Amino acid sequence: MDGSWRHDRDPADSRPLILGLSGSPRMPSSTDRALRFALGHARAQGAATEVLTGADLHFPIFGTTDAVSPAAQRFLDLYRRCDGVLLASPGYHGSISGLLKNALDYTDLLRDTGHAYLDGKAVGCIVCAHGWQATGTTLVALRSIVHALRGWPTPLGVAINSSQPFADADGNCVDTTLGAQLQTVASQVIEFARMRGAPAKQPAYC
């Protein structure tokens, strides 16, 4: 592997960098709370984390201008440096939010830089919606987009029915089953990032 997690970072910092993106324009939101809980577990597992929430993702619609806004450039810089991604989206009419989709579309600008789209990155998918049907369709849509962008969706994706409270005002998860799922998806992203960043081992011959 190419050891990409050390690109543009302190060589002494061996921690994988996990980037969290919340596609909810509302603050606070169930989507944001779920993402921050998962990122907290990532930090407890020894990862470095960065998070961009709705206000950070207000970019011009992709393809409508040649200029890259400062907010979009910050996203692209963080994306290029990260080793894994946690994507969290509300369910809007059966699919992910336009805010998150537009941000993901911007990865097209990196297609010729060696960091094309989501290529080579593990991606954990988290969705929140007011009802189980919407969580299912939104999770399928998000995982399909990750596949289209050459990413590696983790085996577990997390669907949250936000009509049932799962976190308190301080962001603590009060649903132990859901908390375990969010921890698992974060751990899977970290595990893949560490495997990809490890030096390739030479085969042993008898």
Q: Alpha-carbon dihedral of residues 198, 125, 114, 40, nearest 10 degrees?
A: -50
Q: Is pTM, for the whole model, over 0.95?
A: no
Q: State the residue range of the domain holding 21.
A: 4-197
pLDDT digits (tens, 9 = 90+) for 33-61: 999 999 999 999 999 999 999 999 999 99
Lowest average pLDDT, out of 48-57, 125-134, 137-146, 157-166, goes to 157-166
Establish if 33 belongs to a structural domain: yes
User: For residue 206, is it within any domain?
Assistant: no
Identify the pLDDT of residue 198: 53
Does 11 have pLDDT greater than 80?
A: no
Looking up residue 65, the CATH number of its domain turns out to be 3.40.50.360
Averaged pLDDT, 14-27: 92
108-125 pLDDT, tens digit each: 998 887 778 898 899 999
How far from chain centre, in Å, is Cα 19? 6
Would residue 204 count as lying in a domain? no
CA 173 – CA 159 distance, rounded (Å)? 14
* Residue 125 three-state SS: strand
Domain count across the chain: 1
